[in-house]
Structure 1
Amino acid sequence: MKLDSPIFDRIRVKPDRDRRVKVEGPSCEWAGCANAATHRAPKGRQHEGQFWRFCFDHVREYNQSYNYFSGMGDDAVAAYQRDALTGHRPTWKMGSRGGSGRASEHARRHSTEDMGDPFGMFGEMGGRARPEPEPERESRMIRNAERRAFESLGVEASATAEEIKARFKLLVKKYHPDANGGDNSTEDRLRDVIQAYNHLKSAGFC
């Protein structure tokens, strides 16, 4: 490689001229600085969305002394921190009624009276909700064989599964020969009860 080659000159520790890339753009706004403004810094409270433009050295110096709450009293700082929890937006107590102005209008538009409250949450906070409707009993088609089975057990066709099971256990204890001193005269009745229960069970009634 020739010693006067331009390629050799670029990798030298001390080139013959400044080959650093020149940054195009605005100048640093720090007083007395003419370097390129490569960084932004917020102007501070009551100037949200506005920024200073500094070079790297001066933006670092500015950030070290930056204080958003400068000039605010302790009470004002505490109030700001409380409002920051809700994003500085107005809030109202859940379930509150009455009031005036915007809060009252908000309460009227978001009333809980048209809402269901199965867990009683609104009632605990002073609100009201529409009562929960009674669940409708499932209606099923009852065939003649199933109707006879209900009659054998002595229960209504609208009886629940728990009522049918309880009635079945009672009748088994009543008509079982062991409960009648070994008397076999109730075996036919016991057989009818067992068959009726098994039929209702296979049909999904219990």
Structure 2
Amino acid sequence: MKLDSPIFDRIRVKPDRDRRVKAEGPACEWAGCCNAATHRAPKGRQQEGQFWRFCFDHVREYNQSYNYFSGMADDAVAAYQKDALTGHRPTWKMGSRGGGAQASAQASQHSADGFGDPFGMFGEVGGRARPEPEPARESRMIRNAERRAFESLGVEVSATAEEIKARFKVLVKKYHPDANGGDNSTEDRLRDVIQAYNHLKSAGFC
């Protein structure tokens, strides 16, 4: 194949000239301009979806002076910007289901029925804060060895630390040999009481 063949030139990565067909577009709509219209510019308020066609230089000049709110009063501009926050869609106050007598009747019904409103968001329609739940008492697993220790001291498993200590002091005074005139027959019972108290103390009950 010859290097200067027109067929070889078509498969080059960079041909010597642009062979793409150029379609002529619309002309710039700026007065007195004959350049191609390569950019669009919005026509303005109440003409949404409609555009001017300008060249690059004139679309830049148009955008510098473009003002969507041109001719509107300040109050109208503020109202428009406020409605734009919700996409110009109607909104209602949170918790309301209507107005007039219907809303009052529904509020009365909700107030009579009552429903939990822990964050106070629906007070206007009958919501009321729920009372704080009472803190649950700490429940601990009671093993068999601990149950036997409670039985040895003669106290309930729900006894407090102060009750266990007070009961232990009473039993020690009762079964100690010095309190029984030197009688050693209660030593075994005293030993059980001391072991039971030490076990409950190591388990964190007293």
Shorter-normalised TM-score: what interval?
A: 0.5 to 0.7
Between the aligned partners of 2:59 and 2:114, the Cα distance in structure 1 is: 56
- TM-score normalized with structure 2 length: 0.54
What residue in structure 2 maps to residue 175 of structure 1?
168
Amino acid in structure 2 at the alignment position of 1:194: N
138 and 169 in structure 1: CA distance in 2 versus 1, 3 angstrom threshold: closer
What residue in structure 2 maps to residue 33 of structure 1?
33
Let me know the Cα RMSD of the aligned residues: 4.7
- Post-superposition offset of 1:67: 1.2
Unaligned runs of 5+ in 2: 1-21, 180-189
The alignment status of 1:91 with 2:95, answered yes or no, reads no
- Post-superposition offset of 1:76: 0.9
Indicate the percent of aligned positions where both proteins have the same amino acid. Answer: 59
What residue in structure 1 maps to residue 49 of structure 2?
49
Between the aligned partners of 2:90 and 2:40, the Cα distance in structure 1 is: 32
Please show how residues 1-206 of structure 1 align to structure 2 within 5 Å. Answer: 24-96=24-96, 98-99=98-99, 117=117, 119-122=118-121, 128=127, 144-151=144-151, 152=153, 154-156=155-157, 159=158, 167-172=160-165, 175=168, 188-198=192-202
- Post-superposition offset of 1:55: 0.4
Unaligned runs of 5+ in 1: 1-21
- TM-score normalized with structure 1 length: 0.54
- Post-superposition offset of 1:141: 8.1
Contact 1:176 1:190 in 2 (8 A): no
148 and 87 in structure 1: CA distance in 2 versus 1, 3 angstrom threshold: farther
Per-residue CA deviations over 1:100-147 (Å, capped at 9, x if unaligned) read 7xxx7xx9xxx9x99965x43325665527969979989998664454
Higher mean C-alpha deviation, range 121-130 or range 37-46: 121-130
Amino acid in structure 1 at the alignment position of 2:88: H
Between the aligned partners of 1:149 and 1:129, the Cα distance in structure 2 is: 48
Number of residue pairs matched?
Answer: 161
Q: Which has the larger radius of gyration?
A: 2
